[in-house]
Structure 1
Amino acid sequence: MCLILLSWQKLPDQPLIIAANRDEFYSRPTLAADFWPDYPQILAGRDLEYGGSWLGVSRNGRFAAVTNLREVEARGDRSRGDLVKNFLLSNDDTRSHLARLELEKAKYRPFNFIAFDGLELGYSNNMEPSWQLLPPGTHAIGNIPQSSRNEKTMKGERDMNAALTQGAEHQRLLSMLQDPSSSGHHEEAIHRTLSSRFVIAKDLGYGTRSSSIVSLGLDGHWDFWEQIYNTAPQQADFLQPQSLKHFATKPTA
């Protein structure tokens, strides 16, 4: 997952809205979003290489997501996808979970991590010490620490705000995520490509694999939309939208 846009406590009827693109090698085995057979409380896509996820929700009202930190030397070897899975399976509040993670986050591959327990939205990475609760507003999490800014994240925040002035309709947010134009000016072609919101790096066998729109209603239910793209470069419809799935969860007691 390389770009996560969050609207937190800005719309009165939808306190949390997420629009996110997952960028990954096309060959990496993946399952589309669904309820997991072994952990049926989790609704998420699944990485078949390590068994974790990049973004998901749980039946008891939790949300979690990760991105990698590009150009950061890996210190640990644990999969960052386990951060999402472990939080969704836990009953920890956001503060307690992030405080405990602080003690072992160097054991993971470079990450940005978002956790929401139904009440508070928190953020951590393993490049900087400590963690934080995110204030109300629009936030963009890319492949740099949240304390840093670049044109990709700044443009993401602007476009998220503009899209939400017309409401949180999922198709409008999906169209916003599918923008392939480059953010900023880069001399090297690969940097121009990776600065795009919708990444197409066919020569590297890498790019945007899926887009997710997730929103929380006041009654505690989640709406989860996932748009899958054809990532078989040899096919004529390469990177065209394929299946669009919608899931809804009801709050549990």
Structure 2
Amino acid sequence: MCTLVFALRPAPGIVLAATGNRNEFLARPARAAQVEPGPDPVLLPRDLRSGGTWLGLNARGMFACLTNRRGAVLDPGRASRGELVLEALRSATASAAKERIGKVPGNRHNGFHLLFADANEAWIAVCDGVRLEFRPVLSGLLLVVTERSYGAGEGVREAEVKRECAPLFSDPGLSAATLRPPMQRHGEVPLEGACVHADDLGYGTRSSLQLVVRESRAVELLWTEGHPCTDSPSDLSAQATALLRT
């Protein structure tokens, strides 16, 4: 992901909610989100180049999402950061994921931010490619994470997205559909919008996610393959709810 907005327990009856866009080079192959069956089924998209992913939801209700980190160590020989989401999703709880991710050497991957959350707690792992540290995400706190977060140079995009999302996350009528409009926003400078069109650079928004998990384990999940400003979302709510109720 390049822009992620997340909250744990943002409103009554809601366990967690998230909205975000993935920006990537247009030529990089990827598969849309779907349920992968097996002993530990998960719902996630796939990066078809490295085999990892940038987000996912497991049957225990664990959500994980990754952004790169700007200005960090960048070594093409290091392990894919997409492995980290898969590693987190092998855990049943956020505390177990924290323990698992904490065993990963800080220099195994290039810099990243990794959010992982269950119904009770959420953490974000911040790594500059050398040092790994964990920060708790407080219940009710609106968190905006991009490649520029945690001292890596936040700008206009982060402030605008937070301003637009804050009233939506605190609204009792919060739903996946209401979280979609902020991800359709364009910036005066292409890379400062949540939705990016930079075809001349071979780069842009490739997909968009809106997720709401309720205490009843009912899930609302909208997935857009392409630009959320022009492409229609696929409703994966039934598949996601069935996953959590297996």
| TM-score in terms of structure 2 length | 0.86
2:15, 2:119 within 8 Å by CA — same for their partners in 1?
no
3-state SS in 1 of match to 2:142:
strand
Which of 214, 217, 221 is residue 217 of structure 1 equivalent to? 214
**Distance in 1 (alpha carbons) for counterparts of 2:111 and 2:38:** 27
CA distance in 2, matches of 1:166, 1:11: 6
Q: 212-221 or 147-156, which moves further after superposition?
A: 147-156
Deviations 1:71-95 (A, max 9, x none): 322257111111111211233x323
SS state of the match for residue 180, structure 2? Answer: helix
Q: 1:59 to 1:221 in 2, by over 3 A?
A: farther
Q: Give the Å deviation of 1:201.
A: 0.8
Give yes or no for contact 1:72–1:110 (8 Å, CA) kept in 2.
yes
Q: Which residue of 1 aligns with 2:21?
A: 21
Q: Does residue 1:203 correspond to 2:203, yes or no?
A: no
Give 2:122's aligned residue: 121
Q: Is residue 123–residue 134 contact of structure 1 (8 Å, CA) maintained in 2?
A: yes
Structure 2: how far apart are the matches of 1:38 and 1:109? Answer: 30
- In structure 2, the partner of 1:155 is 160
Q: Which moved more, 1:243-252 or 1:11-20?
A: 243-252
Show the counterpart of 1:43: 43
How do 1:42-191 residues align onto structure 2 when only pairs under 5 Å count? Answer: 42-74=42-74, 77-91=78-92, 93-103=93-103, 104-127=105-128, 129-136=132-139, 137-146=141-150, 149-164=154-169, 165=171, 167-182=173-188
Candidates 205, 223, 226, aligned match of 1:226? 223
CA separation of 1:70/1:77 partners in 2, compared to 1, >3 Å: closer, same or farther? same
Match of 1:241 in 2: 231
RMSD of aligned Cα (Å): 2.4
Deviation of the 1:119 alpha carbon: 1.8
List, as ranges, runs of 4+ consecutive aligned residues in structure 1 with deviation greater than 6 Å.
Answer: none
**CA displacement 1:204-223 (0-9 Å, x = unmatched):** 11111111001110123332
* Post-superposition offset of 1:252: 4.5
CA distance in 2, matches of 1:9, 1:213: 16
1:81-137 superposed Cα distances (whole Å, 9 cap, x missing partner): 11111211233x323432442341320122110011332110012125420111121
Instruction: Report which stretch shifted further, 203-212 or 215-224.
Output: 215-224
Indicate the larger mover: 31-40 or 219-228: 31-40
Q: 1:229 to 1:84 in 2, by over 3 A?
A: same
